[in-house]
Amino acid sequence: MSDVRVLFEGAGLLAVDKPAGMLVIPGRGEGSGPSLREVLEEKLGRKVYVVHRLDRDTSGVMVFALEPEKHRTLSMAFESGKVHKRYLALVEGRVEAPRVVDAALVPARKGRMRVARPGEEGKPSRTRVRPVELFAAASLVEAEPLTGRTHQIRVHLLSQGHPLLVDHQYGRDEPLRAKELGGEGEEEVLARTPLHAARLELPALPGVEARALESPLPADMARAVELLRTAR
């Protein structure tokens, strides 16, 4: 629990800053380590209800329920799109202007997703993308999913020619080292998908006050940004 920062606890809710590399719920196979839910339940000594998910390599704001009634309320809010989420991502290329990516998604091989081809019936998917900071050959962008599809942000950015700098499913599989980001040496800077849930906005719900929760850019992504700035 020492590396899981609590952002808010009260009124039957728990919000934490999820570390990258941790599963939200127990996974199959060996070597996955304890899940975030297991860590929280051990720390709190009580049941924790999962309301939404983040991919293993994604960091940032996550909300859990501590009571069955709050679990139902929050789950319905997420499913109906009433909860607004904003992510920060480091991508290849320069994203010069804001855009809304409107591209239906369909399942692909090995658990991946892809953009539906003409004539295919996929799940409608929309993501608002805004440039935050531009570098020589990369960008820090804000991505706001307007729908909630699996891998939506990653696939939509890829479809625009801006895959994440590291992504073992949709792009580069090898870690990025300092010299590749504009610095010097073999320091391993980014070894995971640089996608961070930076802000989550809860609306006013029965028994739940409206609340905005934020998480600062984690150390690995902040270090990558620092090096990218030197390569402008």
Q: Which residues are catalytic?
A: 55
Dist. CA 140–CA 100, nearest whole Å: 16
How does DSSP classify residue 36?
H
Q: Is 195 exposed, middle or buried (0-12, 13-18, 19+ CB in 10 A)?
A: buried
- Contact of 66 with 182, CB cutoff 8 Å: no
Report DSSP letters for 127-160, one per residue.
EEEEEEEE-SSEEEEEEEESS--TTHHHHHHHHT
Dist. CA 121–CA 157, nearest whole Å: 20
Closest CA to 204 of 85, 83, 87, 50: 83
Q: How far apart are the first and last CA of the chain?
A: 38
Structure tokens at 12: 């039957």
- Contact of 156 with 101, CB cutoff 8 Å: yes
